[in-house]
């Protein structure tokens, strides 16, 4: 298993706790923020292997955050996973068009979440 530095942008405390619990127990390193603007500023100063991005954030949409991330040099090969409760027709396509590479619906399934996240990371490694 490859250990991954994961950047989580999520404002819901229960979701943060669950993702943190599952991913840190699998050995991954996590950096967490609760808002889009904070995420855009912070990502310029850290190194990450994968981004988990909630779409419904308090200060701006995850779609906007993904678009801003894709403008930052060095993030073009970092996979962005939209982790969202938005599950209507067109939501997945909108996430992918905004710059996300993958789309994962909430609620998170604790039995499969870590494997999916690790698979997304491996897919990105194999593409490059």
Task: Calculate the CA 14 to chain-centre distance.
Answer: 16
Does 2 have pLDDT greater than 80?
no
For residue range 28-85, list pLDDT tens digits in order: 999 999 999 999 999 999 999 999 999 999 999 999 999 999 999 999 889 999 998 8
Does 127 have pLDDT greater than 90?
no
Split into its structural domains, the chain has a count of: 1
pLDDT class for 128, splitting at 50, 70, 90?
low
CATH code for the domain in which residue 73 is found: 3.40.50.2300
Does 86 have pLDDT greater than 80?
no
In this structure, are residues 41 and 18 in contact, taking their beta carbons and an 8 Å threshold? Answer: no
Distance CA 76, CA 7 (A): 15
Tell me which residue range forms the domain holding 55: 5-127
């Amino acid at each position: 298993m490859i250990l991954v530095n994961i950047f989580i942008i999520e404002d819901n405390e229960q979701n943060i706790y669950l993702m943190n619990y599952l991913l840190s127990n699998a050995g991954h390193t996590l950096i967490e923020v609760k808002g889009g603007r904070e995420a855009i500023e912070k990502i310029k100063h850290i190194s990450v292997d994968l981004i988990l991005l909630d779409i419904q954030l308090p200060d701006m949409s995850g779609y906007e955050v993904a678009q801003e991330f894709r403008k930052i040099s060095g993030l073009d090969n970092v996979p962005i996973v939209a982790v969202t409760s938005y599950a209507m027709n067109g939501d997945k396509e909108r996430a992918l068009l905004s710059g996300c590479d993958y789309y994962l619906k909430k609620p998170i399934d604790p039995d499969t979440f870590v494997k999916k996240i690790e698979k997304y990371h491996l897919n990105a490694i194999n593409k490059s």
